[in-house]
Amino acid sequence: MSELDFALDGLYAAGWWPSERDHCLRTQDNRWYPSQGMVRAYFRQSGIELRQTACPPGRPVSLSWELPGYGWETVTAKSETVAHLLAFTHLYQSAHRCTRQTTGA
């Protein structure tokens, strides 16, 4: 299983599905996923700064952010795309976990 497949499995398992207004890309096996721009916009709309660690080409990419009440989070992957998907999945789960707790869903 590729790193991208792993990240997409986690994203879909979290309950994410693209809406028509989402800017998404498609894998060769036709699975949708959010673009890096969409991920960054999602973080901005949540009031969270997403920081990327500068790495030499060919090195793993790390993204970090601070979630109020939880502290700093970091994901590391072989590509920017996968790092963004892992970060998006984490933030998506956090946002929906709070919604489920509030609504009792």
Per-residue pLDDT of the chain (105 residues; tens, 9 = 90+): 899 999 999 999 999 999 999 999 999 999 999 999 999 999 999 999 999 987 788 889 999 999 888 899 999 999 999 999 999 999 999 888 655 554 455
- The pTM score is 0.87
Contact between 63 and 50 under an 8 Å Cβ cutoff? The reply is: yes
What pLDDT score does 99 carry?
52
Determine the Cα–Cα distance for residues 91 and 97; give it in Å rounded to an integer: 10
What is the Cα gyration radius of the chain?
14
Which among 6, 34, 5 is positioned nearest to 19, based on CA atoms? Answer: 34
Contact between 48 and 61 under an 8 Å Cβ cutoff? The reply is: no
Contact between 24 and 34 under an 8 Å Cβ cutoff? The reply is: yes
What pLDDT score does 85 carry?
97
